[in-house]
């Protein structure tokens, strides 16, 4: 493990006090925009004071180092203050995405032995039901209420009046910091534990991939309820002393473009699913905006098909960089970045301080251009330290000295990594392994296709057959013709055995709230089986 060069390895301290000590106290840390487009700005000094107040308040509630808490707050200053304050105090916190249902909240609290949740009265209708299922010591701290009522503790005034002085105790890099739940693409979301050492990789991945200048304005659109929204929407930019924009509003292409234009965003980090939604607007729509401030655009979370890279270059007039990582890896592992030529469709190369490899099984490395499990040599600083309460599953994720991501990929002769799919999703048809991503990329190129997902389904003859689930636009000709066009195009572009045996036209592809296709749901629905945990599915 790297020996940290910091005065204190505490993530909360590094995002705030350290920046002030480095002379950035007056610099804007956060430009916070609400859904009505009102802007509030907070300097690093203010962020330091607010997080100190949060730490003092949490301490006064009797919460102690190692206690787990959860935050159920939208992107408001309280969310940032309490997340950073909890880190300073040594609490172990998790930010929940806002639309989470009460059963999922209860399960997550019980599975992780969480002591309290910080929220607002807006969430009371759900939290009342949550409390009925928890022990009487569990507390809900409400940031927008003064008085307390039973387990609901109003902290509005106490927070405002709390002291702005707090000395962050020296923090062991291995001390637990925060935990995330995975997206739940492949099953029930897993609780993934990180520690304070992670900040080292947050910082160096940010430096290696985003390569920001000190005066760049940066915008990461991910929800902090997911790893990207925390690592690249809170900790990396602030521990780097950068000003970032956060928008507390849902996706709306006109609003998003206005924000890039109005505030001159230079570095923009988003997801392929956003690109796919954006690409549904005619390109002329984007020409109405002056997006010339953009220097670089990055995506993460799903494969970025080559066509979307070309679309992004046309619309944003800058390079589009795909990045790959997981909740478990804590920070970007493989990425395109300035200084590396982008091969559209490839995820790029491993970061310089990491070793990535393609393995078939333990000690069994695949040659170049051959598919296998994408693995990372352990340990690294932001590597997860456990699946909370699930040591067996944790241990199964390692193949000797390597962490196995469960994604299938290959490395080409130039050292670039290419994504094929999740190991459970790769399709085994007529004795060949085919990539759902490759087929989806081809299907997306067929006129009138708006969205699509491809899955392998059981077949007596082929073992698995390729089935494409397709959303089409209003102008589509007859579905018979579209069906034929898709099959012919995939056959020509990819391979005849990759051509879908069946096309199911649908209104919507089931996705997680972070925009990932839930193939497990499509498969179960197709087979008429129980679809399992849907807690993270987009409405
Ligand atoms: P669960 O583990 O609960 O099924 P999840 O794997 O979707 O959920 P995350 O950790 O948020 O949860 O997502 C990581 C996964 O996202 C990766 O394993 C990979 O399949 C996919 N992914 C992330 N970035 C990329 C990328 N650039 N290209 C292709 N796939 C990506
Ligand atoms: Mg996963």
Interatomic CA distance for residues 141 and 119, integer angstroms: 6
Residues 442-488 have pLDDT tens digits of 999 999 999 999 999 999 999 999 999 999 999 998 999 999 999 99
Average pLDDT over residues 164-177: 98
Residues forming beta bridges with residue 78, ordered by sequence position: none
Please state whether beta strands 417-422 and 432-434 pair in parallel, antiparallel, or not at all (unpaired).
Answer: unpaired
> Whose alpha carbon is nearest atom 22 of ligand 1?
301
Interatomic CA distance for residues 329 and 350, integer angstroms: 13
Closest by CA position to 263, among listed 246, 238, 276: 246
Residues forming beta bridges with residue 472, ordered by sequence position: 449
Query: In the structure, which protein residues have their CB atom closer than 6 angstroms to any atom of ligand 1?
Result: 182-187, 189-190, 226, 300-303, 322-324, 326-327, 347, 405, 407, 419, 422, 514, 516
Closest ligand 1 atom to residue 512 Cα is: 7
Interatomic CA distance for residues 408 and 426, integer angstroms: 8
Query: What are residue 119's phi and psi, to 5 degrees?
Result: -155, -165
> Coil, strand or helix: which one is 66?
coil
**pLDDT of 1 over the 50 cut:** no
* Sequence-separated (6 or more) residues with CB below 8 Å from residue 262: none
Taking CA atoms, 96 is separated from 93, 142, 180, in Å, by 10, 15, 8
Average pLDDT over residues 130-147: 96
Residue given tokens 């490759």 in the structure block: 438
Interatomic CA distance for residues 231 and 269, integer angstroms: 12
Residues 206-241 have pLDDT tens digits of 999 999 999 999 999 999 999 999 999 999 999 999
Ligand 1 pocket test: which of 111, 330, 407 has the largest number of ligand atoms within 8 Å of its C-beta? 407
**pLDDT of 539 over the 90 cut:** no
Interatomic CA distance for residues 419 and 426, integer angstroms: 11
Q: How far is the CA of 59 from the centre of ligand 2 (A)?
A: 34
Closest ligand 1 atom to residue 227 Cα is: 11
> Whose alpha carbon is nearest atom 2 of ligand 1?
182
> Coil, strand or helix: which one is 523?
helix
> Whose alpha carbon is nearest atom 13 of ligand 1?
326
> Coil, strand or helix: which one is 81?
helix
Q: How confident is the model at residue 409 (pLDDT cuts 50, 70, 90)?
A: very high
> Coil, strand or helix: which one is 167?
coil
> Whose alpha carbon is nearest atom 15 of ligand 1?
326
Ligand 1 pocket test: which of 300, 301, 305, 538 has the largest number of ligand atoms within 8 Å of its C-beta? 301
Tell me what pLDDT residue 280 has.
87
> Coil, strand or helix: which one is 304?
coil
Interatomic CA distance for residues 347 and 440, integer angstroms: 16
Residues 310-325 have pLDDT tens digits of 999 999 999 999 999 9
Q: List own/partner pairs for 111-115 with CB under 8 A and 24 or more apart.
A: 111/191, 111/388, 111/389, 112/68, 112/179, 112/191, 112/388, 112/389, 113/68, 114/68, 114/69, 114/70, 115/63, 115/67, 115/68, 115/69, 115/139
Share of residues in the chain with pLDDT > 90 (%): 94
Tell me what pLDDT residue 512 has.
93
Residues 414-451 have pLDDT tens digits of 999 999 999 989 999 988 889 999 999 999 999 999 99
For residue 137, give both structure tokens.
């010591």
> Whose alpha carbon is nearest atom 5 of ligand 1?
183
Ligand 1 pocket test: which of 350, 416, 516, 523 has the largest number of ligand atoms within 8 Å of its C-beta? 516
Tell me what pLDDT residue 3 has.
47
Closest ligand 1 atom to residue 186 Cα is: 4
How many H helices and E strands in the chain?
Answer: 18, 28
Tell me what pLDDT residue 124 has.
94
**pLDDT of 48 over the 60 cut:** yes
Tell me what pLDDT residue 431 has.
87
Taking CA atoms, 134 is separated from 65, 95, 107, 310, in Å, by 22, 19, 10, 51
Please state whether beta strands 267-270 and 296-300 pair in parallel, antiparallel, or not at all (unpaired).
Answer: parallel
Average pLDDT over residues 191-195: 98
Closest by CA position to 316, among listed 270, 362, 360, 369: 270
Residues forming beta bridges with residue 140, ordered by sequence position: 117, 152
Tell me what pLDDT residue 144 has.
97
Average pLDDT over residues 391-410: 97
> Of the bound ligands, which one is closest to the alpha carbon of residue 516?
1
**pLDDT of 2 over the 70 cut:** no
Average pLDDT over residues 10-21: 98
Q: How far is the CA of 374 from the centre of ligand 2 (A)?
A: 12
Which secondary structure element, helix H or strand E, spans residue 428, and what is its range? strand 427-429
Interatomic CA distance for residues 188 and 393, integer angstroms: 13
> Of the bound ligands, which one is closest to the alpha carbon of residue 515?
1
> Whose alpha carbon is nearest atom 27 of ligand 1?
324
Interatomic CA distance for residues 50 and 29, integer angstroms: 13
**pLDDT of 165 over the 80 cut:** yes
> Of the bound ligands, which one is closest to the alpha carbon of residue 273?
1
Helix orientation angle between 306-316 and 436-444, rounded to the nearest 10 degrees: 50
Ligand 2 is a single-atom ion; what residues have CB below 5 A from it? 182
**pLDDT of 4 over the 70 cut:** no
Which secondary structure element, helix H or strand E, spans residue 32, and what is its range? strand 28-34
Average pLDDT over residues 257-262: 98
* Sequence-separated (6 or more) residues with CB below 8 Å from residue 135: none
Residues 143 and 96 sit within 8 Å (Cβ to Cβ) = no
Q: How far is the CA of 185 from the centre of ligand 2 (A)?
A: 7
**For residues 90 and 3, which has the higher predicted lDDT (pLDDT)?**
90
Q: How far is the CA of 325 from the centre of ligand 1 (A)?
A: 7
Interatomic CA distance for residues 58 and 155, integer angstroms: 10
Which secondary structure element, helix H or strand E, spans residue 451, and what is its range? strand 449-459
Global model pTM greater than 0.85: yes
Please state whether beta strands 92-95 and 68-71 pair in parallel, antiparallel, or not at all (unpaired).
Answer: parallel
Average pLDDT over residues 345-350: 97
Check residue 169 and report its DSSP letter: P
- For 102-231, strand residue ranges (E) read 114-119, 139-142, 152-154, 176-181, 191-195, 217-220
On average, the pLDDT of the chain sits at 96
Closest ligand 1 atom to residue 422 Cα is: 20
> Coil, strand or helix: which one is 13?
helix
Q: How far is the CA of 533 from the centre of ligand 2 (A)?
A: 14
């Amino acid at each position: 493990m790297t020996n940290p060069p910091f005065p204190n390895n505490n993530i909360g301290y590094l995002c705030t006090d350290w920046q002030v000590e480095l002379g950035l106290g007056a610099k804007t840390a956060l430009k916070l925009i609400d859904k009505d487009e009102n802007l509030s700005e907070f300097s690093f000094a203010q962020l330091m004071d607010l997080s100190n107040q949060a730490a003092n308040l949490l301490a006064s509630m009797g919460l102690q180092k190692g206690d787990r808490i959860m935050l159920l707050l939208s992107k408001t200053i309280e969310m940032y203050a309490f997340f950073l304050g909890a880190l300073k105090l040594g609490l172990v916190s998790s930010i929940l995405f806002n639309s989470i249902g009460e059963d999922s909240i209860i399960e997550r609290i019980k599975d992780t032995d969480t002591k309290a949740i910080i929220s607002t009265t807006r969430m009371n209708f759900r939290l009342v039901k949550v409390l009925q299922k928890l022990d009487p010591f569990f507390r809900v701290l409400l940031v927008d209420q003064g008085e307390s009522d039973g387990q609901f503790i109003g902290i509005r005034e106490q927070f405002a009046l709390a002291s702005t002085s707090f000395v962050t105790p020296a923090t062991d890099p291995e001390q637990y910091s925060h935990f995330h739940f995975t997206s739940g693409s492949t099953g029930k979301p897993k609780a993934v534990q990180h520690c304070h050492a992670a900040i080292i990789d947050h910082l160096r991945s940010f430096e290696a991939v985003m390569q920001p200048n000190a005066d760049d304005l940066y915008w990461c659109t991910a929800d902090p309820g997911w790893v990207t929204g925390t690592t690249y929407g809170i900790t990396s930019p602030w521990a780097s002393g950068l000003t970032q924009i956060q928008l507390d509003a849902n996706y709306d292409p006109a609003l998003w473009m206005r924000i890039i234009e109005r505030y001159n965003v230079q570095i923009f980090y988003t997801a392929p699913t956003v690109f796919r939604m954006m690409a549904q607007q005619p390109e002329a729509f984007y020409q109405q905006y002056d997006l010339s401030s953009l220097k670089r655009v990055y995506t993460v979370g799903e494969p970025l098909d080559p066509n979307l890279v070309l679309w992004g270059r046309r619309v944003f007039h800058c390079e589009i960089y795909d990045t790959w990582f997981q909740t478990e890896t804590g920070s970007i592992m493989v990425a395109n970045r300035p200084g590396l030529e982008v091969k559209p469709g490839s995820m790029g190369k491993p970061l310089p301080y990491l070793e990535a490899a393609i393995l078939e099984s333990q000690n069994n490395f695949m040659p170049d251009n051959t598919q296998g499990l994408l693995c990372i040599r352990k340990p690294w600083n932001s590597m997860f330290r456990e699946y909370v309460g699930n040591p067996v599953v944790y241990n199964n994720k390692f193949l000797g000295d390597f962490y196995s991501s469960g994604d299938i990929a290959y490395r080409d002769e130039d050292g670039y990594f290419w994504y094929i799919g999740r190991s459970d999703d790769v399709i085994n048809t007529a004795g060949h392994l085919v990539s759902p991503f490759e087929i989806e990329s081809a299907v997306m190129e067929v006129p009138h296709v708006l969205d699509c997902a491809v899955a392998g389904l059981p077949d007596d003859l082929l073992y698995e057959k390729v089935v494409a689930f397709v959303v089409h636009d209003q102008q589509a000709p007859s579905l018979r013709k579209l069906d034929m066009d898709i099959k012919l195009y995939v056959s020509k572009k990819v391979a005849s055995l990759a051509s879908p045996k069946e096309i199911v036209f649908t209104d919507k592809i089931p996705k997680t709230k972070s925009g990932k296709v839930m193939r497990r749901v499509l498969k179960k629905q197709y087979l008429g089986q129980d679809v399992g945990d849907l807690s993270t599915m987009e409405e």
